[in-house]
Amino acid sequence: MADEKTLTEVGDSTWETRVEKGERPVVVMFYSETCPFCKQIEPFFRQFAGEFGADLLFARLNVSQNPWTVERYGVRQTPTFKFFCQGRPAQEIVGAAFPALLRKNIEGFLEHGEACIRSSREIDYEITGYG
């Protein structure tokens, strides 16, 4: 079963350090408290965090409490699962998903993780569109 080391709650204030600058690849579940599909898939997400947590960080982000991150990554529906490699989004699943589909995507992400790391570029945090 998942614990705080394998499943963590992230927000606007912790996003950069946990996801964008984290040492491991990350799977983030964007959820809302009123989303029935989020409630259905969450036990499976927690289970996968327990199974794959040694290799991936599993995180949750409440969309109603973290508008900056939601807007930055264009999340428009819950649940949305985003997979991050070296802080960069690599793939996503949007909307209600079967647990088997989520598992298959997690396993594929792990299998091809080295390619993800090789093809991603480091984020330059000094670049801004505001001058």
Question: Mapping DSSP to helix (H, G, I), strand (E, B) and coil, where does residue 96 land?
Answer: coil
For 29, the token pair is 């579940």
Question: Mapping DSSP to helix (H, G, I), strand (E, B) and coil, where does residue 58 land?
Answer: strand
Question: What is Dmax (Cα atoms) for the chain?
Answer: 47
For residue 116, indicate whether it is catalytic. no
- Of the residues 12, 32, 35, 37, only one is catalytic, namely 35
User: Which residues does residue 82 pair with via DSSP β-bridges, in sequence order?
Assistant: 28, 92
- Of the residues 2, 27, 38, 63, only one is catalytic, namely 38
Q: Which residues are catalytic?
A: 35, 38
